[in-house]
Amino acid sequence: MAWAAPRRHLSSWSSMTVPTSCVTGSTWTRRLLSTTTREDRVRASLANHNEALVSSPWVRLLSSPLRRCLVTRKAMPKAMMIQLKTAFFPADQAGSSTAAQSHRSDEDESGQQASSSAPLSPDLQQLEEFFVPDGILHPKFHKPKHGRAVSLCTSRLCVEAISSYSQKAGLLKRLSSSAKIPPRLSDMVAHQLRKRVEQELELLHRADKRKRVDDEAEDSAAYFRRKHTAACHIELLSPASPASDDTKEITGSPSAAGSSTSLHSPPRYSLPLLFPDDAQRKHVRDVILSLLAPFHHRVEQATKADDGLQEIAVPSRTPELVPLVIALWRLNSFESGTESRKATPV
């Protein structure tokens, strides 16, 4: 006689399930929800931190590799310095800084070497090697040269010091024994720094047109719902225009306009002082107003005069505006010369 388990035992085993209290119990549910909520908070915090890093111009500046200045012997990030490389120019144009500068400007626009103003026969045309700024202009408009470079602080005094101190000129000969220093090298650097600001504005203007057509309603609604702080302020007043109490102190030199007494306050850049040429300043001002005027009323500490905007703020948390802020900082730092005043050449 075969043994068979009682039917009641089989039914009890087949119907055995995990107690409902173990699955839907309050302790387990709270633990699961708390874990999910904590992970969501961590993800949101990391996303916010990553957005702040990507949209910070100062992080972008400090993340570049270190280089040592030839004059001050300070090690600084490459994005905060000026690079000098060798280039060849015709002998008849070498002595004229204006011709060399126009030659460089034509090369920046077309991306090709510009020929001399008057055609010369091969036996009369001679090329001489000079140190010229490189890497200042945007790579889309002018491709950087390959080869070794000399690094200098972004300061007019540092650039002028390499021709004033003979021992520094000797260090340049290690890079090239035949290269010379142009008579007005600092003016060439300033010209390219201003040109870089115009190039960044032109690229932003192109991207702004595409954004308005593609996703203006989708992105702008979410963007304008939040309030932004200012990454920097751009003064639009000319020195002769009446200024408010907040802007009366910002006169004289670009160092006064770009300096900041607090690390938490955004820097201020005076457009009339950074762009002395009236036509160039008017063009830059019009493009800045067309790009940043929609965001102006959403930025904290925005001021408005009776006759128009006194200043306009560049909003933070906008990665597409980071190159423009960096270009303005480099131009202001070069014209102010604060770094070279603090450290004397060795």
Q: Rounded to whole angstroms, how far apart are CA atoms 322 and 267?
A: 14
- Let me know the angle formed at the C-alpha of 191 by 188 and 196, rounded to the nearest 5 degrees: 125
* Predicted confidence pLDDT, tens digits, the chain (346 residues): 555 555 555 444 444 554 544 444 566 665 655 666 777 777 777 777 777 777 788 888 888 999 999 888 899 999 999 999 888 877 555 445 444 444 444 444 444 444 334 454 454 357 888 888 999 999 998 888 888 888 999 999 988 888 766 556 667 777 777 788 888 888 999 999 999 999 999 888 887 666 654 444 444 444 444 455 677 778 886 544 444 443 333 333 444 444 444 445 778 888 888 998 888 888 888 888 888 766 655 454 444 444 455 777 777 767 788 888 899 999 999 988 544 344 333 3
Q: What pLDDT does 233 receive?
A: 79
pTM value? 0.68
- Rounded to a whole number, what is the distance in angstroms from the first to the last CA of the chain? 109
Q: Rounded to whole angstroms, how far apart are CA atoms 246 and 266?
A: 14
Q: Rounded to whole angstroms, how far apart are CA atoms 116 and 136?
A: 23
Consecutive H or E run containing 334: helix 322-336
Could you tell me the two tokens for 121? 């026969």
Consecutive H or E run containing 88: strand 81-90
Query: Which has the closest alpha carbon to 51: 325, 326, 317?
Result: 317
